[in-house]
Amino acid sequence: MFKTLALVAAIIAIPATVFAQAQQPSGGAVVGAIIGDAATPRFRTYVVEQDVPFYAYREQVALGAVLPEVSVVYREVPAEYGAQGYRDRVVNERPALVEPRTRRIVQIIN
């Protein structure tokens, strides 16, 4: 009886586990770096050299934070940094990559 019960529990649990692993995050930050470790110092230098005033954000600058729709100017990331489709913005003196459709911070460049 115990073996049958364990088998039934395993059969029920496997599809749920597979389904959970197949789900894409619905909002949070992107897992892993968009601009890799090798390009990060160059990208940080690029952002600093642009000398664009930073956006003063009242909340904590963190992955997944959503920036306002108005009063923030986003810039396209040059292709050489491999972050096509993303925008950059200096937020509270910290360079960050932003997903333009949702305005979520997806990477903070340290």
**Residue range 50-78, pLDDT digits in tens:** 888 888 988 888 999 999 888 888 888 88
Note whether residue 42 is domain-resident: yes
Distances (CA, A) of 22 to 19, 47, 75: 5, 35, 32
Note whether residue 82 is domain-resident: yes
Measured on CA atoms in the order 23, 84, 69, 108, is the torsion positive or negative? positive
Note down the domain range covering 68. Answer: 28-108
Give the integer Cα–Cα distance in Å for 57 and 76.
Answer: 20
Note whether residue 15 is domain-resident: no
Give the integer Cα–Cα distance in Å for 40 and 37.
Answer: 5
**pTM for the complete prediction?**
0.63
| Domains of the chain: total | 1
- Assign residue 102 the CATH number of its domain: 3.10.450
Note whether residue 72 is domain-resident: yes
Note whether residue 4 is domain-resident: no
